[in-house]
Amino acid sequence: MTRFVYSPRYAVDIGGHVFPTAKFRLTAEAVAERGKLVEPSEPARSDLLLAHDAAWVDKVLSCRMTLEDETLMELPFTPEVSLAHRLQAAGTVLACRWAMQDGVGLHIGGGSHHAFRDHGEGFCVLNDIALAMLQMRREGRVRRAAVIDLDVHQGNGTASILAGDADFFTFSMHQQDIYPEVKQRSSLDVELAAGTGDAEYLARLAAALPRVFAHRPDLVIYQAGVDVWERDLLGGLKLSERGILARDSLVREECRRHGVPAAVTLGGGYGQDVRDTARLHARTLLAFSEGQRQIS
C-alpha cells in the first residue's frame, strides 16, 4: 500500500488568508483511497537546531513572536500554527526516510523553502527541506543530497541555510520578477520571465537537471509547488495542467534513470478555488506514487 505523510493538524484556521491551509485536508482526501495516511510525530528541539538557530527555535516553541517576526512570515502566529509547521518539518524527514527505504516518500505538506536559519519568511516558519537533508546526513542515510525546487518562487531560505556545504546541491527554477525581491544564490538558479509557458519551461528544466545529478545525490527532495499554474493568484508563469504533469514526470523519470530516491513536498499553490490547488497537488503525489515500492 502506498503511504502518504499527513496530519489533520496541518490545516489551521488563519482567517481569510491567501495561504489556503484547507488544501492539505483536500489533498489528503483526494489521495486517501490510493493509500495510507501516516501522521508524523512532533520533532525534538535538537532536530530543529540542525537547520535553525536556538533563538529562533525557542521563539517557535514558545510562540513568542514579535510584530517584525510575524510581518516577515506574513502569518498570524498561534500555538496551532507553530504545531502545524513543526509537524510538517518532521513530516518531510519521515518522507525522506521512506524514500531511502522504498524509492519514493510522499508528503502532503512541507516545502517551506523561505524559512531562514534565524527567521521565517513568506508563509514559512521552519525549513523542512534543509532540516530533512541535514537529518538524513546525521542519521548516516545519505552523504550527498539535492533539492529540485520548482515552486514559482525562489527557495531563498534553503539556499541560505545550505550555502557552503559541498554535500548539498540546491537547484531552484523560478519566476525572476516576483517574491522574494532579494534572491539568494543556490547551487543552480534558473530564472524565468513572467508568461513562460509549457514548452520553454520544460526545455529549460530538461537542460538543468543534468547539473543536479552530476552532484551524484543519494536523495532528491522535490519541492513541487503548483503555483507555476497559469491560473495561480501569486505567480505569473503560464504552465497548463498538462505542463505541470509533464514537469513532474520529467523529474520522476530522471530520478528513476539515475537510481536516486525522491521525497516529494507540496510547496506553494494559490488557485482562486482551493479545490483546484488540491487537485493539482494530488496529481503530483499520485504521479510519484507509481514508483514507490508497495508496503503491505
Contact 225, 180 (CB under 8 A): no
Q: Which cell goes with 139?
A: 542519521
Choose among 110, 279, 251: nearest CA to 173.
251
Element (H, E) at 186: none
Which residue among the candidates 52, 85, 113, 114 is catalytic per the annotation?
Answer: 114
Is residue 174 among the annotated active site residues? no
DSSP string, 18-85: SS-THHHHHHHHHHGGGEEEEPPPPPPHHHHTTTS-HHHHHHHHHT---HHHHHHHTS---HHHHHHH
Q: Helices 198-214 & 241-258, crossing angle to 10 degrees?
A: 20
For 230-264, give one letter per residue: b (16+ CB within 10 A) or e. Answer: bbbebbbbbbebebbebbbeebbebbeeeebbbbb
| Alpha carbon of residue 118 to chain centroid | 19
| Alpha carbon of residue 166 to chain centroid | 21
Q: Which cell goes with 108?
A: 502532503
DSSP class of residue 187? S
Q: Which cell goes with 55?
A: 533563538
**Distance in Å from the first CA to the final CA of the chain:** 5
Calculate the dihedral angle through the C-alpha atoms of 244, 246, 252, 254, rounding to the nearest 10 degrees. -130
Active site positions, annotated: 114
